[in-house]
Amino acid sequence: MCHLSQLVTQMQGCDALPVVVAVAVGSVVLYVIFFRARTLPAIPFELKPPAQSVPGWRSGEILSNPSIIVKDRSDLIQCFDPATGRSLGQVPATTLTELDDKIQRARNAQKTWALTSFEQRRQVLRTLHKFVLGHQREICQVASRDSGKTLVDATLGEVLTTAAKLQWTIKNGEKALQDDERDPGFMMMYKRAKVVYQPRGVVAALVSWNYPFHNTVGPVISALFAGNAIVVKASEHVAWSMPYWEQMVKRALNVCGHNPDLVQFVTGFADVGNAVTASPNIDHVTFIGSPEVGKLVMRAASANLTPVTLELGGKDCAIVFADADMKQCVPVLMRGVVQNASQNCIGIERILVQAQAYDGFVAEMERRMRAVRLGAVLDDDPREVDCGAMVLGYCFDRLEALVADAVSKGARCLVGGQAYKHPRHPQGQYFAPTLLVDVTPEMEITRTETFGPIMVVMKFTDEKDALDQVHSSPYGLGSSVFSGDRGRGRRVALKLRTGMANVNDFGVNYICQALPFGGVGISGFGRFAGPEGLRALCVEKAFTEDRLPFVKTPIPPIVDYPIQDAEKGYQFTQQIVAFAYSESWWESLKAGLRLGKLAM
Residues annotated as catalytic (active site), given as ranges: 311, 345
Specify whether the CB–CB gap between 368 and 378 falls below 8 A.
Answer: no
Specify whether the CB–CB gap between 206 and 285 falls below 8 A.
Answer: yes
Residues ≥6 apart with Cβ < 8 Å to 478: 314, 316, 345, 346, 498, 499, 500, 501, 502, 507, 509, 519
Kindly list the distances between the CA atom of residue 412 and the CA atoms of 85, 277, 434, 450, in Å, as whole numbers in the listed order. 32, 44, 11, 17
Question: Which one, of 278, 262, 267, lies nearest residue 199 by Cα?
Answer: 262
Helix (H) or strand (E) run with residue 159 in it? none
Q: What is the rounded distance in angstroms from the CA atom of residue 30 to the CA atom of residue 35?
A: 8
Residues ≥6 apart with Cβ < 8 Å to 565: 558
Q: What is the rounded distance in angstroms from the CA atom of residue 358 to the CA atom of residue 320?
A: 9
- The rounded radius of gyration (Å) of the Cα atoms in the chain is 30
Amino acid present at 568:
K
Specify whether the CB–CB gap between 461 and 434 falls below 8 A.
Answer: no
Q: What is the rounded distance in angstroms from the CA atom of residue 233 to the CA atom of residue 216?
A: 8
What sign has the CA pseudo-torsion 492, 494, 495, 500? positive
Helix (H) or strand (E) run with residue 9 in it? helix 2-12
Specify whether the CB–CB gap between 177 and 534 falls below 8 A.
Answer: yes
Helix (H) or strand (E) run with residue 545 in it? strand 538-546
Helix (H) or strand (E) run with residue 447 in it? none
Roughly how many angstroms between the first and final C-alpha of the chain, as a whole number?
Answer: 76
Specify whether the CB–CB gap between 533 and 514 falls below 8 A.
Answer: no
Amino acid present at 383:
R
Cα angle 98, 103, 109 (rounded to 5 degrees) comes to 125
Note if the bond before 562 is cis, omega within 30 degrees.
yes
Specify whether the CB–CB gap between 272 and 282 falls below 8 A.
Answer: no
Amino acid present at 169:
T
3 state SS of 85:
coil
> Can you state the angle between helices 242-255 and 118-134, rounded to 10 degrees?
130
Please give the full DSSP string across 19-75, using - where no structure is assigned. HHHHHHHHHHHHHHHHTGGGSPPP-----PPPGGGSTT---SPBPSS--SBPTT-TT
Question: Which one, of 104, 108, 123, 99, lies nearest residue 253 by Cα?
Answer: 123
Kindly list the distances between the CA atom of residue 120 and the CA atoms of 30, 39, 203, 481, in Å, as whole numbers in the listed order. 22, 9, 20, 42
Q: Where would I find the beta strands (DSSP E) of 464-529? A: 475-476, 479-482, 502-503, 520-521, 524-525
